């Protein structure tokens, strides 16, 4: 409105208007600001001010248009200004009258009441989500290792056979490849190396050691893939946390001490741990780490009699694989196997979560049933 007011206060020459065509936009703008103004006149007193602003005899907008635009207009413009002014006047008068009628009949008030925002109405409540249990457990594991000086690295889920197998001392035709039967990618012709979905997070051991010299202390959380048929304990995609520590003087005691610290932090100080000999191509010696059964307290007996169904009466539950890094692995990353030593481990996060929270079907993690997810806010 302000700009229009200023414009109607000036003769057309000063507005730079010399040709009749230029009047169309000028009048359209004026009509637009009238319509805006009209929509704001909701009650009688506002309507009066509005009416005077446009129709006031002395200084109403239409009077200004007559005095400043019409009267001093050049003969070329005068005829068109007159015509446009008449059209505008007809519109202004009819709308002002219509507005008055609306206010008087109460229609305006009704419309206002209808449109008024009722601040006392309850708002739209958007439920706040929470992290998925897997993410929560991952976070917990990360926090524990972080607190003892490990850093967190992540790596690609699509790997080359070199990183997933060869550099981990698993040559082609090594039988352990069968256990990790996985998904190879269909690649366009001309792509040199085969690519696969990583079967474990261990390839990041190699990628990390390639990038940095010892000391190395990292954990690697992430998704891994295997061609497993889904059942209560198998899924074609699951989560692991790999761990690797390499330095000049790391011993088997550092290894067991670190793992034991982790397990007690994670399951509570009451659990007992043990390890058994095992085999992995990239560790020597290799172990399988067990924890005393968290369900029966290690007794192997169920509370109501009989054997504990979780540990099948053994009193122990297998947790994860680990070991001292096989010197052959150092050969792939140009570490001097005579000078460095270290340990590595790889744990299934889904399995840890199932044990800690008593979940007996891994599929529950991936079905996205809110009734399940809600139990772990």
23 vs 352 by CB, closer to ligand DAH: 352
Query: Site residues for ligand DAH, window 266-285 (CB under 6 A)?
Result: 280, 283
- Residue 124 beta carbon to ligand DAH: minimum distance, rounded to whole angstroms: 46
Own/partner contacts of 361-369, CB < 8 Å, gap of 24 or more, are 361/232, 362/232, 362/233, 362/234, 362/235, 362/238, 363/230, 363/231, 363/232, 363/235, 365/132, 365/133, 365/134, 365/235, 366/235, 366/237
Query: Site residues for ligand DAH, window 292-321 (CB under 6 A)?
Result: 321
**Tokens found for residue 323:** 């070991």
Q: Does 202 bind ligand DAH (CB under 6 A)?
A: yes
138 vs 308 by CB, closer to ligand DAH: 138
Rounded CA-CA distance 308/74 in Å is: 105
Half-sphere exposure of 328 (CA within 13 A, CB side): 13
Contacting ligand DAH (CB under 6 A), which of 51, 84, 99, 200?
200
Asked if 303 and 210 count as a contact pair (C-beta separation under 8 A), the reply is: no
- Residue 286 beta carbon to ligand DAH: minimum distance, rounded to whole angstroms: 6
Give the residue closest to ligand DAH by C-beta.
346
**Shortest CA distance to 347 belongs to which of 336, 358, 356?**
356
**Tokens found for residue 170:** 């698993």
Task: Convert residues 218-257 into a mask of x (bound to ligand DAH by CB under 6 A) and - (unbound).
Answer: ------------------------x---------------
Q: Does 164 bind ligand DAH (CB under 6 A)?
A: no
Neighbouring-strand partners of residue 237: 225
159 vs 242 by CB, closer to ligand DAH: 242
Is the omega angle on the peptide bond into residue 215 within 30 degrees of 0, that is, cis? yes
E strand or H helix at 275: strand 273-280
Query: Site residues for ligand DAH, window 319-338 (CB under 6 A)?
Result: 321-323
Task: Convert residues 337-356 into a mask of x (bound to ligand DAH by CB under 6 A) and - (unbound).
Answer: -------xxx----------
89 vs 177 by CB, closer to ligand DAH: 177
- Residue 125 beta carbon to ligand DAH: minimum distance, rounded to whole angstroms: 43
Q: What is the contact surface with ligand DAH in residues (CB under 6 A)?
A: 200, 202, 242, 280, 283, 321-323, 344-346
């Amino acid at each position: 409105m302000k700009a229009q007011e200023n414009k109607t206060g000036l003769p057309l020459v000063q507005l730079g208007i010399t040709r009749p065509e230029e009047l169309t936009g000028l009048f359209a703008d004026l009509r637009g600001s009238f319509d805006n103004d009209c929509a704001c006149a909701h009650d009688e007193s506002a309507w009066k001010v509005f009416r005077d602003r446009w129709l006031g005899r002395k200084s109403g907008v239409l009077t200004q248009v007559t005095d400043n635009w019409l009267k001093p207009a050049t003969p070329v413009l005068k005829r068109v200004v007159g015509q446009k002014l008449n059209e505008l006047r007809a519109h202004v008068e009819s709308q002002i009258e219509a507005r008055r009628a609306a206010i008087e009949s109460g229609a305006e008030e009704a419309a206002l009441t209808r449109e008024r925002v009722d601040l006392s109405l309850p708002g739209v409540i958007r439920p706040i989500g929470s992290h998925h249990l897997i993410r929560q457990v991952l976070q917990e594991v990360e926090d524990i290792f972080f607190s003892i000086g490990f850093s967190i690295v992540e790596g690609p889920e699509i790997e080359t056979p070199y990183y997933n197998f060869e550099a981990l001392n698993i040559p082609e035709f090594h039988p352990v490849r069968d256990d990790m039967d996985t998904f190879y990618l269909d690649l366009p012709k001309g792509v040199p190396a085969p690519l696969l979905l990583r079967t474990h997070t261990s390839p990041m051991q190699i990628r990390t050691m390639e990038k940095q010299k010892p000391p190395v202390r990292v954990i690697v959380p992430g998704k891994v893939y295997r061609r497993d048929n889904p059942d209560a304990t198998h899924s074609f995609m699951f989560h692991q946390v790999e761990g690797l520590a390499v330095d000049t003087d790391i011993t088997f005691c550092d290894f067991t001490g670190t793992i034991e610290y982790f397990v007690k932090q994670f399951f509570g100080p009451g659990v007992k741990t043990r390890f058994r000999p095992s085999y992995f191509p990239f560790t020597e010696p290799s172990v399988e780490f067990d924890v005393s059964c968290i369900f029966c307290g290690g007794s192997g007996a169920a509370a109501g009699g009989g054997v504990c169904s979780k540990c099948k009466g053994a009193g122990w539950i297998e947790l994860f694989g680990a070991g001292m890094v096989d010197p052959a692995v150092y050969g792939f990353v140009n570490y001097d196997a005579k000078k460095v030593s270290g340990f590595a481990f790889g744990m299934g996060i889904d399995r840890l979560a199932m044990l800690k929270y008593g979940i007996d079907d891994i599929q529950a993690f991936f079905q996205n049933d809110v009734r399940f997810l809600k139990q772990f806010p």
